[in-house]
Amino acid sequence: MANVRRTHADPMEIQRKKRRNRIVVAAFFLFVGAVALLESPLTRVRGFRVTGNTSIPASTILNTAQLHKGMSLWQVNAAHVSADVVSKNTLVQSVSVHTDVLSGIVTVQITEKHVVALYEANGSFYRVLDDGEIFGTIAPANGFSWPIVTTAQHVKVAEGQAVPVAGWMPLMNELGKTSPTFLASVSQLELDSFGLVTAYFSDGFAGRCQASQLAQKASTIQAAVAYFSGKGDRPGLIDVSNGPPYEYTPFSKP
């Protein structure tokens, strides 16, 4: 009879094999579970909430962001959505996106730019946004709700771009901070080549200051106009860019 050599399996090795098998089985079921979860309706977008938009329809926002019901919640990239909406909609200042995984609702919060003035050039009136950009033309049929801005230089304008003249951006920034009462009394704002703005009033007077100081100087200009008008002086230009005392130059009689 041939010699038969019997060996005994190492108990530790057996335990290690069993443990590896259990890990493989557990990993498999975890993988299957993860796939099932990702494909589950619970991880799909079930609705949207668009807030803060007053001029842009919610449908336009969602189409621009390429968001739709049924897409995976994990496909909603807040940074990409924000960049797409801002770059493709001139009226949008900023966007924030919040995804509620439990409800499946994606909230898109819009901060819009707003019109602060009209720019008159070549017989046309262009709406100007608070960031200085041009946003289309408007017909003068029913009057205007914003001050009209003109410039000493005749330049070409394009939608989505600021007017390339000195003092333009400071003036647009100031208009958003200037008293509505002051602006309502102004018929025109004229911006010169040196960054000075002249406000023309309906009573014939005018006040001048640095474009970057319009909000700060508005009450001073109003008080100066009231002073000279109250004295019976004829309409003229009151320069408050320096001083006091402020320089008053009456306009020539027609």
Domain that holds residue 196: 115-250
The answer to whether residue 37 sits within a structural domain is no
CB 131 within 8 A of CB 93: yes
Compute the distance between CA of residue 208 and CA of residue 217 in angstroms, rounded to an integer.
9
Considering the domain architecture, whether residues 141 and 211 belong to the same structural domain is answered as: yes
Is the distance from CB of 69 to CB of 59 less than 8 angstroms? no
Answer yes or no: are the C-beta atoms of 220 and 210 closer than 8 Å: no
94 and 131 housed in the same domain: no
Q: What is the per-residue pLDDT across 143-155, written as a single tens digit (0 to 9) for each? A: 677 889 999 887 8
In a domain, 26, yes or no: no
Q: Are residues 52 and 169 in the same domain?
A: no
Going residue by residue through the chain, which has 254 residues, state the pLDDT in tens, using 9 for 90 and above.
Answer: 455 555 555 666 666 666 766 676 656 555 555 554 555 556 788 888 999 988 889 999 989 888 888 888 888 888 999 999 998 888 888 999 998 888 889 999 999 888 889 998 878 888 899 889 998 888 876 667 788 999 988 788 888 888 888 899 999 999 988 888 898 889 899 999 899 999 999 889 999 999 999 999 999 999 999 999 888 888 999 999 887 888 889 988 76
Same domain? 96 vs 193: no
Domain final position from 112, 137, 157? 112
Whether residues 52 and 150 share a domain: the answer is no
Structural domains counted in the chain? 2
Domain-embedded: residue 181: yes
What does the pLDDT look like over 37-55, one tens digit per residue? Answer: 555 556 788 888 999 988 8
Quote the crossing angle between the two packed helices 78-88 and 58-65, to the nearest 10°.
120
pTM of the complete model: 0.66
Give the CATH number of the domain where residue 169 resides: 3.40.50.10960
* Residue 11 is assigned to a structural domain of this protein: no
Same structural domain for residues 76 and 127? Answer: no
Q: Any idea what the CATH number is for the domain that residue 90 is in?
A: 3.10.20.310
End residue of a domain, out of 112, 145, 169: 112
